[in-house]
């Protein structure tokens, strides 16, 4: 295929930085391809997108070497406006991308500017809205749309200009799994039916492996791996070293290969492929001997007679101007528990966390945190017992140095300055953060770590996490979650709202499922994820491993029922395969 964009030996450094954000990148984007770009944070993914879209060299300044050819012309020889006739780009911050307040005007803006003939405008707008499936939103105010809808408006606005290439920088970072999938469905549709080349930067490996036909893995400003998803995820060890997650099913098939249970082959990328592979390993025949199922993961024992540290009793709340209201919430959390709250956007999860830290007061019922009724005490009092890690760390950072920032929470809680700084310094040391730097000068991932450090230092009785892992790469995500688990082990009650079901299934031992402002169910993670009807009702997609286990339990053997971990599937397969071999040798 003819490349539509070609980068030849491109290096770039921002401003006067000595260090290259990109070094010696040679990459060609074939016309009509669907390319995914992945890598740990700070690997230069967004910089690469900026080079592809012409924002480098035309908007961001720095030193650029090499050449980038878009449709036959060097980007240095074209204006940004001309480049954007060919390459349409959708940036990370959707709100900042919008130029109008009504959906229709948002689409009109580009069309008017590029001088599209007025008699064609009406049809073009209708077609663009149709292509992303939001024809009904045409007259809506953008401010009233959900994140997923806004993302689609942004794509439609670019699409109306009929670009040959779409470059998207983390289009699903702020979306729940269902909306993320819808955005990718739209992209695939455009790629297959309109022939638009798609380049997408994304952290969600499961989505990338399913939708892309090419993957580029970046690390420290260079391209580490390149190829089809099957080829790339075959390099599991390299990926782990870089800090990129592999889809869980790929991990399963790679482990099976490593154990010698199947011949070396391309990794599985979908539940179906994995199910097929495992079925063939277990040789179709079900062993006559019943195989004992693995011990279910035991919940961390919390003191039997411990008093619950959080108690919701018949809690109702509704916002005066609409928005996610909650009804009759009942919930108790004990010290040392790690509870996940799952559900779709708008299910009332964030409202529940705000009721918990006192930012909202229940209109009826009561919320008790560490023995305090949230209606009787000011939020700043509750804050001495609870600590919240917000989705966006930038909302909670306000000091000049990392040390002051981490110590700030302690000082607010009345700890003397000297002691607060000492305790803060210990935590900063443990996290390996630079104590004297300004928080805002650090990367997004590091800012999230500072926010986490200022939660850890408080040693709170209750920890609330609102989307703790969004915008983090795999390694940062694991560091955050391991830290949170340690806090739970030391006796904090952790309540976590999270869209990443893999993370939830790995770390939470109890789940609360919410939909439309109500708690649908609550119970051990395994049990909840395996309740297919419940998952469907809450519109939550269970993690790959759970789906695979359910399918295998139905088609192959009961031994797979209720497994939630990669190792569980691998062990069960190993046991079943050996049982078969033994039986075969006896016969």
Partner 1 sequence: MLNVIDYVPGTTILHRLNPVTKLALAASIIIATILSDGYAALIALLLLTLLLGVYAGTATRLFSLLKVLVPIAVLMLVLQLAFVRHGDPVILFATTDGLVSGTKACLRLLGVALPLVLVLTVTKTTDLANACVEKLHIPYKYAFTFTTALRFVPVFTQEMNAIMEAQTARGVEFDSKNPFRKLSLMLPVCIPLLVTSVGKTDATALAAEQRGFYLRTRASSYRRYPFALRDAVCGALCVALIVAGIVL
141 in contact with partner 1 (CB under 8 A): yes
SS3 220: coil
Site for partner 1 in 439-458 (CB under 8 A): 440, 454
Quick check: 295 binds partner 1 (CB under 8 A)? no
Contact between 65 and partner 1 by CB under 8 A: the answer reads no
Q: Which stretch binds partner 1 (CB under 8 A): 155-163, 198-206, 304-312, 418-426?
A: 155-163
Residue 468 near partner 1 by CB under 8 A:
no
433 binds partner 1 (CB under 8 A): no
Angle at 381 between CA 377 and CA 387, to 5 degrees: 125
CA 295, CA 308: separation in Å to the nearest integer? 27
- Which CB, 403 or 563, lies closer to partner 1? 403
* 41: contact with partner 1 by CB under 8 A: no
In the complex, the smallest distance separating the C-beta of residue 358 from partner 1, rounded to whole angstroms, is 8
Q: Assess 109 for contact with partner 1 (CB under 8 A).
A: yes
Q: How far is the CB of 88 from partner 1 (least distance, A)?
A: 8
**Whose CA is closest to 278, among 294, 288, 293, 265?**
265
Q: One symbol per residue from 365 to 384: x for binding partner 1 (CB under 8 A), - otherwise; what is it?
A: -------------xxx--xx
- Give 93 or 276: the residue with its C-beta nearer to partner 1: 93
Does 12 bind partner 1 (CB under 8 A)? Our answer is no
**Position 114 contacts partner 1 (CB under 8 A):** yes
- Write the binding mask 347 to 366 for partner 1: x where contact by CB under 8 A, - elsewhere: -------x--xxx-------
Length reported for the chain: 587
386 binds partner 1 (CB under 8 A): yes
- Report CA torsion sign: 91, 95, 97, 102: positive
Among 11, 24, 28, 97, indicate the residue that binds partner 1 (CB under 8 A). Answer: 97
Cβ distance to partner 1 smaller for residue 412 or 581: 412
What is the bridge-based pairing of β-strands 326-333 and 310-317? antiparallel
- CB closer to partner 1 out of 9 and 95: 95
Angle at the Cα of 291 from the Cα atoms of 289 and 292, rounded to 5 degrees: 140
Sequence-ordered alpha helix ranges (H) in 432-531 = 444-456, 474-489, 501-507, 525-530
Query: Contact between 102 and partner 1 (CB under 8 A)?
Result: yes
Cα R_g (the chain), whole angstroms? 26
84 belongs to the binding site for partner 1 (CB under 8 A)? yes
SS3 469: coil
CA distance 52 to 528: 44
Closest CA to 468 of 485, 481, 454, 453: 481
Asked if 390 touches partner 1 (CB under 8 A), the answer is yes
Distance of alpha carbon 214 from alpha carbon 5, whole angstroms: 14
d(CA 418, CA 411): 9
Q: How far is the CB of 7 from partner 1 (least distance, A)?
A: 19
Distance CA 318, CA 325 (A): 4
Residue 419 interacts with partner 1 (CB under 8 A): yes or no: no
Look at strands 3-14 and 62-70 and give their pairing: antiparallel
Q: How far is the CB of 408 from partner 1 (least distance, A)?
A: 7
The reply on whether position 126 binds partner 1 by CB under 8 A is no
99 binds partner 1 (CB under 8 A): yes
- Cβ closer to partner 1: 36 or 358? 358
**Does 110 participate in binding partner 1 (rule CB under 8 A)?**
yes
**Binding residues with partner 1: total (CB under 8 A):** 65
Pick the closest to residue 88 from 141, 138, 52 (CA basis): 52
Q: Which is nearer to partner 1, 14 or 109 (CB)?
A: 109
Q: 395 to each of 252, 398, 451, how far by Cα in Å? A: 39, 8, 10
Reading the block at residue 409, the tokens are 């929470």
The alpha helices in 304-413, defined as continuous H runs, are 349-356, 379-382, 402-412
Residue 172 found at the interface with partner 1 (CB under 8 A): no
Whether the CB-CB separation of 512 and 519 falls below 8 Å is answered with yes
Q: Does 392 bind partner 1 (CB under 8 A)?
A: yes
The enclosing H or E element of 274 equals helix 271-281
* Selected binder of partner 1 within 31, 100, 135, 162 (CB under 8 A): 100
End-to-end CA distance of the chain: 55
- What are the residues binding partner 1 (CB under 8 A)? 53-55, 58-59, 79-81, 84, 88-89, 91-93, 95-102, 105, 108-115, 118, 121, 141, 143, 157-158, 161, 321, 354, 357-359, 378-380, 383-384, 386-388, 390, 392, 394-399, 408-409, 412-413, 440, 454
């Amino acid at each position: 295929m003819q490349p539509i964009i070609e980068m030849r030996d491109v290096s770039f450094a921002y401003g006067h930085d000595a260090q290259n954000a990109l070094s010696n990148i040679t990459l060609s984007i074939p016309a009509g391809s669907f390319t995914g770009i992945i890598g740990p944070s700070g690997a230069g993914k967004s910089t690469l997108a900026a080079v592809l879209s012409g924002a480098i060299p035309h908007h961001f300044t720095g030193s650029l070497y090499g050449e980038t050819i878009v449709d036959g012309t060097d980007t240095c020889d074209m204006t940004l406006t001309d480049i954007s006739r060919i390459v349409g780009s959708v940036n990370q911050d959707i709100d900042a991308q919008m130029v109008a307040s009504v959906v229709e005007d948002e689409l009109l803006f580009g069309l008017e500017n590029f001088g599209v003939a007025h008699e064609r405008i009406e049809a073009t707008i209708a077609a663009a809205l149709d292509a992303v499936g939001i024809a009904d939103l045409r007259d809506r105010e953008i401010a009233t749309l959900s994140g997923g809808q806004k993302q689609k408006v942004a794509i439609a606005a670019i699409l109306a200009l009929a670009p040959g290439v779409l470059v998207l920088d983390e289009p699903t970072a702020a979306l729940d799994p269902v909306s993320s999938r819808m955005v990718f469905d739209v992209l695939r549709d455009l790629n297959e039916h309109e022939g638009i080349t798609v380049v997408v930067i994304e952290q969600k490996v499961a989505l990338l492996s399913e939708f892309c036909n090419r993957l580029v893995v970046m690390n420290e400003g260079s391209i580490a791996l390149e190829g089809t998803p099957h080829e790339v995820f075959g390099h599991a060890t390299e990926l782990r070293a870089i800090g990129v997650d592999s889809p869980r099913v790929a991990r399963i098939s790679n482990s099976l290969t490593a154990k010698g249970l199947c011949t070396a082959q391309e990794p599985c990328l979908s539940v179906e492929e994995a199910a097929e592979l495992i079925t063939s390993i277990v040789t179709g025949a079900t062993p006559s001997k019943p195989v004992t199922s693995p011990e279910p993961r035991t919940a961390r024992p919390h003191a039997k007679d411990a008093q619950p540290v959080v108690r919701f009793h018949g809690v109702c709340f509704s916002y005066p101007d609409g928005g996610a209201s909650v009804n009759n919430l009942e919930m108790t959390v004990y010290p040392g528990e790690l509870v996940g709250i799952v559900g779709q956007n708008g299910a009332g999860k964030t409202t529940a966390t705000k009721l918990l830290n006192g930012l909202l007061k229940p209109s009826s019922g009561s919320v008790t945190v560490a023995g305090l009724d949230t209606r009787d005490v000011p939020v700043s009092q509750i804050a001495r017992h609870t600590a919240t890690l917000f989705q966006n760390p930038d909302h909670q950072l306000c000091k000049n140095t990392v040390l002051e920032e981490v110590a700030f929470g302690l000082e607010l809680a009345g700890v003397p300055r000297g002691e607060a700084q000492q305790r803060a310094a210990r935590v900063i040391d443990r996290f390996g953060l630079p104590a004297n730097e300004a928080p805002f000068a650090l990367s997004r991932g590091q800012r999230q770590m500072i926010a986490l450090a200022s939660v850890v230092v408080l040693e709170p009785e209750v920890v609330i996490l609102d989307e703790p892992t969004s915008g983090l790469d795999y390694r940062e995500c694991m560091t955050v979650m391991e830290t949170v688990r340690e806090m739970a082990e030391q006796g904090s009650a952790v309540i976590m709202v999270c869209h990443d079901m893999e993370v939830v299934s790995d770390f939470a031992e109890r789940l609360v499922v919410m939909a439309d402002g109500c708690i649908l169910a609550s119970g051990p993670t395994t049990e909840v994820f395996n309740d297919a009807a419940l998952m469907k009702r809450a519109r939550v997609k269970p993690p790959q491993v759970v789906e695979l286990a359910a399918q295998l339990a139905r088609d192959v053997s009961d031994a797979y029922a209720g497994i939630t971990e990669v190792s569980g599937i691998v062990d069960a397969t190993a046991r079943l395969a050996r049982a078969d071999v033994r039986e075969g040798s006896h016969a």
